[in-house]
Chain A
């Protein structure tokens, strides 16, 4: 219980920083609202697009390649998270843990090679 409390107190500044940062942005927006001129004109609120009036909404379909990168990112980021606890303790754990981790990294490299061969990594 004591150690948990200690850990939480350690992260108290993080919470304070988040709250202060929120109020920084908030007060800046309020300050600008008080200082800056505001005139609502219909033309002004048009979307900026080379002076033309845009046709349709801009939120359309997105190329599939972005999803490939996103999926690969999830795989490799989770892998990196697995390596973190190992990286700070593997010398104490000895050669056995190193062998397990190298098998893990090797499998991931095979996965990367597979994605490469399938063309998921090439930007078309």
Chain B
């Protein structure tokens, strides 16, 4: 379908990226509207209703307001890092679109090292967060930025290790090849633990609830972005929703079989688009659902969970995967090992919850006594 455009690699990719600009803007606005609407329904509210039919134009109105809003830079802020931070946050988020597989043919360029590229680029935005926090010369912003950095780099590791689990099974870093191998069995059935790892650390990388400590309104009033207003602030917002979209498509590609599963890869392009959109919407809905149902974690719980639970278990999973694959043991053992590790994880979480409750009861008794 797209093949008639392939005249010159430069013009070809330029056109595709320009069309992605449109896609990104529309989808970010749509996601903002959907998140507000879905969160409202979970809270038994109505959400936006006044702007346009069923509040559909709310995001457009917000965008217009943000463009027309005064853009203030605090007098004591560090001009260079304050002004450059939106670039550092937005550009990496946008660059990730290059190797995102919408369908078999519909992508800007399928890099052979696509997974490594995405992992590398996605962590650049942490620099932007720290620049925003440091440059604002505001205590809330600085604390938020440091938390964002600590959380971002910590959860980068489970993310990379879960991607490695998939790369070991697929023996490739090309996203289209990884999807093509999932025509019969999606990776979520082979590696449910890797899916959990990726989902959790993607939430943490995007600073979404329950990992929204860096931007927690009740603690650091918006984190690194307190001092930003108007169009600069909306750049951060746009980058956040772009990252949400990309991470969801990535989860779909890595674990849910992307455009191929369950009907095989010989489908037409429109079917592939439909499959991708449906699965991506499902993942995005799941992310919204987690946001409205789970309370924010404390930072010590967050770091302990990452370093003492997720990373050791992920390394064990890589070892087990290697053992099974290199000696050509039956494939179902991959699923068995992954489910076992999942069980261990559930046990650990359960035990720490019990401890938490016990401490809580003891404290309450002390207070009442």
Contacts and interface: CB of A to CB of B under 8 A. Distances in A.
Nearest to A98: B326
A102 B322 contact: yes
The contact size tier of chain A is: 35 or more
Contacts of A22: 87, 91
Contacts of B234: 28
Contacts of B112: 10
B227 A47 contact: yes
Given A21-B90, A73-B154, A16 B75 contact: no
A36 B68 contact: yes
Interface in A1-42: 9-14, 16-18, 20-22, 24-25, 28-29, 31-33, 35-39, 42
Given A54-B139, A59-B137, A109 B227 contact: no
B138 A36 contact: no
A102 to B, nearest CB: 6
A20 B87 CA distance: 11
Interface stretch (B262-270, B304-312, B348-356, B361-369): B304-312
18 contacts: A13-B16, A14-B98, A14-B117, A16-B17, A21-B94, A25-B87, A45-B72, A45-B74, A46-B75, A47-B227, A48-B226, A59-B142, A88-B173, A90-B168, A90-B322, A91-B171, A98-B326, A112-B311
Given A17-B95, A57-B76, 11 more contacts: A14-B98, A16-B14, A21-B90, A29-B232, A47-B136, A58-B141, A66-B149, A80-B160, A84-B164, A90-B322, A105-B315
Interface residues of B, number: 78
Contacts of A24: 21, 90, 94
A9 B185 CA distance: 34
Interface in B41-92: 67-76, 86-87, 90-91
Contact of A58 (B97, B137, B311): B137
Interface string B264-295: 00000000000000000000000000000000
Contacts of B73: 45
Contact of A47 (B137, B150, B312, B319): B137
B18 interface: yes
Contacts, number: 197
B310 to A, nearest CB: 12
Interface centre among A37, A62, A87, A89 (most CB of B within 10 A): A87
B161 interface: yes
Q: Which of A25, A28, A54, A77 is the most central at the interface, judged by chain B CB atoms within 10 Å of its CB?
A: A25
Given A13-B98, A59-B137, A123 B70 contact: no
A69 interface: yes
Contacts of A88: 167-168, 171-173
When A and B form their complex, which 10 residue pairs have the shortest distance between CB atoms, in order from nearest?
Answer: A32-B231, A123-B300, A13-B13, A21-B94, A45-B75, A73-B153, A98-B326, A21-B91, A13-B109, A80-B160
A90 B172 contact: no
